[in-house]
Amino acid sequence: MSREPIYYLNGKYISKSKAKISVNDLGFLRNYSVFEFLRTYNGIPFYLDAHLTRLENSAKTVGIKLPNSQKMLKKIITKLLDLNKQFNEKKIHIIVTGGRAEDSITYQGKPTIVIMIGELIKNPPAIYRQGIKVITEDYNRNNSSAKTTDYFHAIKSLQKAKSKGAEEVIYLNNKEGLVYEGSRSTVFIVKNGKVQSPNHGVLPGITASVVLKLLQKEFTIIKEMVTPKELFDADEIFITATTKEIVPVVQVNNMKVGNGKVGSITKLIMSRFETYTENWSGKEVN
């Protein structure tokens, strides 16, 4: 039986079974919280600085003051990784809430912070070999530049997607002619050898930014608005996310993407990313 994970909660390192927050916490009562989710490669956190910077930006956007500096958070995470050696590759989940509010609504300026470490669960290899189906939905997140725990719509949308044999939902606005992002991912399209990703109304993806840096010397990269027509007319589509890495999309709604198979450029990008992460030592791409 594996040893119980050790978490960090409001200044204390504590076993998972003993980690508890107040029922008066605004994260529980009002979903007033932000988070980051990252993973390790070769035991080393992947782009930790970028994740912590995004966490800080998310907190500022929603009006929560982080209880720890980035430097201190890095020290805490380093210690947690050392305390959780029973896991090989790890997932790191950081959540900062508005903290306790006895009146159930007023932010007191004393946030709750919890950092959870666990075993990274790998995705089925078939999704990378065969690609996935996605569906589209006319929707855009509130505060799209902040990574919050408000996943009500995403969970509901993913239930709908699963019922249609799809793995992800791509949000768009047909009226304004805009493609945004996936419910849990960044969207890329490939057309005539050019790689394009939406830059309007989206959360800046960490994995997406790494992919763009890895490709900048080989491909024309376009970061601008993407229309629904461009999405449906794409030669190839793929999505990126921390746990998914790079996943090919071969069907959108009832339409095939290209020839309905994983595209050659997507395969090349997947290979580049795999090589980079297999050799990850903490050195970031310039």
User: Model confidence over 16-34: pLDDT tens digits?
Assistant: 999 999 999 999 999 999 9
- Phi, psi for residue 54 in degrees, rounded to 5: -65, -40
Q: Which domain does 183 fall in, by range?
A: 126-278
The DSSP 8-state label assigned to residue 70 in this structure reads H
pLDDT at res. 2: 64
Whether the CB-CB separation of 175 and 139 falls below 8 Å is answered with: no
What is the structure's pLDDT at 1?
A: 46
For the chain, what is the domain count?
2
Provide the token pair at 147.
């990574």
CA 165 to mean position of chain CA atoms: 22
Q: Are residues 184 and 219 in the same domain?
A: yes
CA–CA dist 231, 215 (Å, integer): 20
Q: Which of 90, 119, 148 marks a domain boundary?
A: 119
How open is the CA angle 134-189-262, to the nearest 5 degrees? 65
Question: Mean pLDDT of all residues in the chain?
Answer: 96
Assess whether 67 and 138 both reside in one domain. Answer: no
CA 274: distance to chain centroid? Answer: 18
User: Looking at the domain assignment, is residue 283 inside a domain?
Assistant: no
Burial 176-207, CB ≥16 within 10 A → b, else e: eebbbbbbbbbbbbbbeeebbbbebbbbebbb
What distance in Å separates the CA atoms of residue 215 and residue 38, rounded to the nearest whole number?
22
User: Domain boundary residue among 87, 119, 151?
Assistant: 119
pLDDT at position 220: 86
CB atoms within 10 A of CB 11: 10
Query: pLDDT class for 170, splitting at 50, 70, 90?
Result: very high
Q: In the prediction, which pLDDT does 221 show?
A: 87
pTM: 0.95
| pLDDT average, residue stretch 30-43 | 97
Give me the pLDDT at residue 217, please.
Answer: 85
